[in-house]
């Protein structure tokens, strides 16, 4: 699959097959994150991998009780150092999207989780106070394949030379 196909296929997946993710695929996904750019090439992104996050006590509750997480094979908690760069959150957002697209190529679905109790989840995962749990990426094999939602049409989103909306 090329990058264009992965972009066209990507969607948030919240319904998963009960299938474990091979370590090799997990490493490919993390490698995609590692290669993502950061402002000034500063290195501060860290990832805590949780297998079967639905089975980790309190995990779903800390993610605002998002029950669909139950069947996921893996969660990746994405942690930044906000002191190191004012772009730290942007750096992580780029890395997360690298992971999402690499996952698509591997046939793995994902969904960002931005709605969570940062204090609760940080405590559970041992994230120190001077770091920030930016978001969680939930991963698993899609039960019903990939199906992208309608997006804005191309002619509605861009214009040449000056802002036209």
Ligand X SMILES: Cc1cc2nc3c(=O)[nH]c(=O)nc-3n(C[C@H](O)[C@H](O)[C@H](O)COP(=O)(O)O)c2cc1C
Binding site for ligand X (CB under 6 A): 11-12, 14, 66, 111-115, 149
Q: How far is the CB of 161 from ligand X (least distance, A)?
A: 29
3-state secondary structure the chain: CCHHHHHHHCCECCCECCCCCCHHHHHHHHHHHHCCCCHHHCCCCEEEEEECHHHCCCHHHHCCCCHHHHHCCEEEEEEECCCCCCCHHHHHHHHHHHHHHHHHHCCCEEEEECCCCHHHHHHHHCCCCCCEEEEEEEEECECCCCCCCCCCCHHHHCCCCCCCC
Considering the complex, state which of residue 41 and residue 147 has its C-beta at the smaller distance from ligand X: 147
Please identify, using beta-carbon distances, which residue of 14 and 132 lies nearer to ligand X. Answer: 14
Min separation Cβ 112 and ligand X, Å: 4
- Least distance between ligand X and beta carbon 11 (Å): 4
Q: Name the residue number minimizing CB distance to ligand X.
A: 114
Q: Kindly tell me which of 66 and 74 has the beta carbon lying closer to ligand X.
A: 66
Q: How far is the CB of 65 from ligand X (least distance, A)?
A: 11
Give the shortest CB-33-to-ligand X separation in angstroms.
16
| Residue number, 14 or 45, with CB nearest to ligand X | 14
**Rounded to whole angstroms, how far apart are CA atoms 137 and 150?**
22
Q: Which is nearer to ligand X, 26 or 92 (CB)?
A: 92
């Amino acid at each position: 699959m090329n990058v264009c196909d992965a972009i066209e296929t990507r969607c948030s997946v919240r319904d998963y097959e009960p299938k474990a993710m091979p370590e090799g695929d997990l490493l490919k996904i993390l490698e995609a994150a590692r290669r993502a750019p950061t402002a000034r090439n500063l290195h501060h992104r860290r990832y805590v991998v949780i297998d079967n996050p639905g089975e980790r006590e309190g995990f779903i509750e800390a993610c605002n009780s998002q029950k669909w997480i139950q069947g996921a094979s893996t969660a990746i908690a994405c942690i930044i150092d906000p002191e190191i760069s004012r772009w730290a959150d942007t750096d992580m957002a780029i890395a997360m999207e690298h992971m999402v697209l690499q996952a698509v190529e591997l046939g793995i679905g994902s969904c960002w989780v931005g709605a969570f109790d940062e204090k609760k989840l940080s405590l559970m995962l041992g994230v120190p106070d001077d770091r920030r749990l930016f978001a969680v990426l939930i991963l698993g094999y899609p039960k019903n394949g990939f199906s992208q939602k309608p997006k804005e049409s191309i002619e509605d989103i861009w214009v040449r030379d000056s802002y036209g909306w």
